[in-house]
């Protein structure tokens, strides 16, 4: 608790530096204006209602970020759980998915988009090569994105095609035998046609050593290819075509009996993804104040995930006495997904707001998706188990938003969205289910401009995500022990969840744009909170995962982001999130008591009570610059079936950059103190050694990256 207040005090001290100091340093070095693109209309960050973080290309470069997970720690009240080779599962303000095994995920609480393409929960494809900025919108985005933005949205914007011909070659290398190479080409292909191509290969041995195979088995092998075409046949029309090909063949061997970075698995897993997508969009200026926009995108994904279920090898059981001998089980998931999304919207009203006029948006949305899962569990002890399932979904929505200026200083916004959700599930065990939901989303907000550089806002927003069927629990119910059958009686399905979020914020630029301060307080009421939980039926030998929606929950907290140009050479920044996320009442199977227990006022999983990111950027001269930062977070539970917590941690990052003309060199390092920290956790019995108390319950963690460092080169032409 004391660390939380120390961090907050440091931030407030930074934000309240004496005015004389700020005025004396007010020179030509002002902060760059930031534009947010994720809403219906582009707005500057200062004008945007809501708690929004924008991570620009400069931050991506200084952190040598290859993937979304390399920058999320810099964003207040945003966490992620790994459970894969990359951070597939994102939480905003304590709300989000934690992992995926058998059950389909329906729609994740936190959505992700790349240039108008809905990636959904395929976050492995969130690579940051040739990306202009990443926008993180906290709080429900139901009017704009429906169930896809239930708790928030992450919007990745790649660099657009340019008029003049430009290109860039990049290459990098680092420890753990890491290397990358990329090429960007951009320019005019015709008087009215511009194009851009970006290709990068990223490789690393990772930081896990498999003792049995004497090899690195948690490696990265990722190819990212993006193409964009923009065609402007007239001043009133713009068309765009985007292509994405992402091919990852990563290892997945992260779980260690010793909770370190050495594994003994004889069948190390894989986490591969092959994604092909196409996006098309058009914009037509129908009149001076009337614009029609349309988007159609299609994505096809092949996902494979597997792991060694017992984590050990026959050699391990020769070194130690393993209870029951050596098991050879694997768990293998092969998913084929596709999604077709179409949207059309009409934007009207005045081009700019002034007292007495307004702007409006009305639109239609359709989303059709399908997932086929082939599941295998080959095992010596339990025999070979296989199953197949098909899951089809569709969403249709109509929405509208109206923004009206009551005066030159006060603007009101009202929006609503009605969605129809339908799902059809069937599997090889003969189980089938049809599910449908009517979901409604709405928001009301007011923005008041105190002056040209300061605004305050208040917003109330509601969002909803669909319910569904706990397919694993339902399929296994006939084989459960009687007490587990009784418990699951009311939990074979889960209800739709709704959020009601109230938020008050302030945004200001001061001292000739040298100081940028944003702060927001929020309270979120979750009804039928969809909470992931597990139970172990020992008599039946079954792990049973399910979503429990029998409880309500509440989340409230504070987010502060600030940046201050101290002088022409030094810029300070501080980002802090405080969070309290609590479940009213949840009944869970406690693995220590080996009984069902009721937990009241329990902190939600993956909801640390504080996060921070503090640092400085230094421009030594026209060629040399650098940055250093410290970031961290508090403890958090990682489940409801036990009381284990992920420990708090603090990380140190730094980089040095040299730029002359069109050549750039960067030396970077992350986690420079080599801190061991966990990004996911499990609690169960999986250690087979008799001398250690075979299969007694204990905490197992998936560790984040250790000290990593490297050098990056760029050549622009």
Is the Cβ–Cβ distance between 255 and 277 less than 8 Å?
no
Q: What is the residue whose two structure tokens read 């006495």?
A: 321
Q: Which of 675, 561, 673, 681 is nearest to 611 (CA)?
A: 561
Question: What is the 3 state secondary structure string of 312-374?
Answer: CCHHHHHHCCECCCCCCCEEEEEEEEEEEEEEEEEEEECCCCCCCCEEEEEEEEEEEEEEEEE
Residue 12 pLDDT greater than 70, yes or no: no
252: tokens are 């997945």
Q: Dump pLDDT digits (tens) for 217-242.
A: 999 999 999 999 999 999 999 999 99
What is the reported pLDDT for 104? Answer: 72
705: tokens are 């990256």
Decide: residue 628, CB within 10 A, 0-12 exposed, 13-18 middle, 19+ buried: middle
Sequence-ordered alpha helix ranges (H) in 109-188: 142-145
Average pLDDT, the chain: 91
Measured between alpha carbons, how far is 7 from 9 in angstroms, rounded to an integer? 5
Counting residues of the chain whose pLDDT is more than 90, the rounded percentage is: 76
Band the pLDDT of 21: cuts 50, 70, 90. very low
Measured between alpha carbons, how far is 182 from 203 in angstroms, rounded to an integer? 12
Measured between alpha carbons, how far is 262 from 636 in angstroms, rounded to an integer? 25
Band the pLDDT of 16: cuts 50, 70, 90. very low
Q: Which of 480, 557, 559, 548 is nearest to 518 (CA)?
A: 559
What is the reported pLDDT for 106? Answer: 64
**Is the entire prediction scored with pTM above 0.85?**
yes
**Which domains does the chain possess?**
2-716 (2.40.170.20)
Band the pLDDT of 7: cuts 50, 70, 90. very low
Rounded to 5°, the CA angle 289-293-296 comes to 180
Residue 120 pLDDT greater than 90, yes or no: no
Least confident range of 159-168, 243-252, 426-435: 426-435
Q: Which of 461, 425, 370, 392 is nearest to 149 (CA)?
A: 461
Measured between alpha carbons, how far is 366 from 499 in angstroms, rounded to an integer? 22
Q: Dump pLDDT digits (tens) for 189-209.
A: 999 999 999 999 999 999 999
Residue 65 pLDDT greater than 60, yes or no: yes
Decide: residue 565, CB within 10 A, 0-12 exposed, 13-18 middle, 19+ buried: buried
Measured between alpha carbons, how far is 150 from 418 in angstroms, rounded to an integer? 13
Q: What is the residue whose two structure tokens read 């403890």?
A: 635
Q: Which of 192, 194, 255, 248 is nearest to 225 (CA)?
A: 248
Q: Dump pLDDT digits (tens) for 290-302.
A: 999 999 999 999 9
The string over 1-21, giving b where at least 16 C-beta atoms fall within 10 Å of a residue's C-beta and e elsewhere, is eeebeebbeebeebbeeeeee
What is the reported pLDDT for 32? Answer: 66
């Amino acid at each position: 608790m004391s660390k939380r207040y120390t961090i907050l005090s440091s931030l407030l001290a930074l934000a309240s530096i004496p005015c004389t100091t700020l005025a004396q340093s007010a020179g030509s070095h002002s902060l760059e204006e930031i534009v947010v693109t994720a809403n219906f209309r582009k707005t500057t960050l200062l004008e945007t209602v809501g708690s929004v973080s924008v991570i620009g290309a400069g931050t991506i470069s200084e952190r040598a970020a290859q993937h979304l997970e390399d920058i999320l720690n810099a964003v207040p009240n945003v966490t992620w759980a790994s459970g894969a080779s990359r951070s597939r599962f994102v939480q905003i303000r304590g709300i989000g998915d934690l992992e995926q095994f058998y059950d389909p995920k329906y729609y994740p609480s936190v959505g992700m988009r790349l240039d108008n393409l809905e990636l959904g929960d395929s976050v492995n494809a969130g690579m940051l090569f040739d990306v202009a900025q990443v926008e993180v919108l906290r709080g429900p985005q139901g009017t704009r994105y429906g169930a896809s933005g239930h708790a928030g949205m992450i919007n990745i914007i790649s660099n657009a095609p340019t008029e003049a011909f430009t290109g860039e070659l990049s290459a990098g290398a680092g420890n753990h035998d890491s290397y990358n190479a990329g090429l960007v080409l951009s320019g005019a292909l015709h008087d009215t046609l511009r194009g851009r191509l970006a290709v990068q290969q990223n490789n690393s041995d990772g930081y896990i050593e498999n003792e049995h195979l004497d090899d690195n088995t948690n490696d990265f092998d990722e190819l990212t290819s993006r193409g964009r075409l923009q065609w402007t046949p007239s001043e009133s029309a713009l068309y765009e075509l985007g292509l994405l090909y992402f091919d990852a063949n990563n290892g997945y061997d992260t779980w260690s009996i010793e909770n370190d970075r050495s594994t003994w698995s004889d069948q190390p897993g894989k986490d591969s993804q092959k994604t092909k997508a196409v996006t098309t969009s058009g914009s037509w200026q129908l009149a001076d104040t009337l614009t029609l926009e349309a988007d159609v995108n299609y994505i096809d994904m092949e996902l494979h995930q597997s792991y060694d279920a017992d984590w050990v090898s026959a050699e391990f059981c020769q070194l130690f006495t393993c209870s029951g001998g050596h098991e050879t089980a694997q768990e293998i998931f092969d998913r084929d997904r596709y999604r077709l999304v179409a949207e059309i919207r009409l934007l009207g009203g005045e081009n700019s707001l002034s007292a007495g006029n307004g702007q409006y948006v009305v639109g239609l949305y359709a989303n059709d998706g399908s997932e086929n899962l082939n599941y295998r569990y080959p095992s010596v002890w339990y025999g070979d188990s296989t199953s197949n399932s098909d899951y089809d979904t569709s969403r249709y929505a109509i929405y509208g938003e109206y923004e009206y200026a009551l005066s030159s200083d006060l603007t009101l916004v009202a929006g609503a969205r009605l969605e129809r959700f339908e799902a059809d599930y069937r599997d090889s065990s003969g189980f089938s289910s049809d599910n449908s939901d009517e979901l409604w989303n709405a928001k009301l907000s007011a923005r008041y401009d105190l002056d040209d550089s300061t605004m305050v806002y208040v917003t109330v927003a509601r969002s909803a995500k669909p319910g569904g069927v706990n397919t694993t629990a339902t399929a296994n119910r006939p084989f459960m022990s009687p007490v587990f059958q009784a418990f699951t009686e009311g939990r074979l399905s889960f209800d739709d969840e709704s959020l009601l979020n109230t938020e008050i914020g302030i945004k200001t630029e001061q001292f000739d744009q040298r100081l940028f301060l944003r702060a927001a307080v929020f309270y979120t009421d979750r009804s039928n909170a969809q909470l992931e939980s597990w139970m172990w039926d020992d008599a039946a030998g079954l792990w049973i995962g399910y979503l429990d929606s029998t409880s309500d929950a509440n989340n409230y907290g504070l987010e502060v982001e600030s940046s201050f140009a101290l002088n022409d050479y030094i810029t300070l920044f501080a980002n802090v999130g405080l969070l309290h996320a609590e479940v009213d009442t949840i009944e869970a199977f406690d693995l220590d008591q080996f009984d069902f227990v009721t937990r009241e006022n329990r902190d939600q999983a993956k909801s640390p009570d504080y996060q921070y990111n503090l640092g400085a950027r230094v421009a030594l001269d026209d060629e040399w610059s650098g940055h250093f930062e410290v970031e961290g977070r508090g403890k958090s539970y990682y489940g409801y079936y036990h009381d284990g917590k992920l420990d708090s941690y603090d990380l140190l990052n730094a980089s040095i950059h040299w730029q002359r003309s069109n050549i750039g060199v960067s030396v970077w390092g992350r986690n420079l103190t080599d801190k061991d920290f966990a990004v996911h956790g499990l609690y169960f019995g999986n250690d087979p050694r008799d001398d250690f108390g075979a299969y007694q319950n204990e905490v197992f963690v998936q560790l984040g990256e250790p000290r990593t460092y490297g050098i990056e080169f760029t050549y622009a032409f």
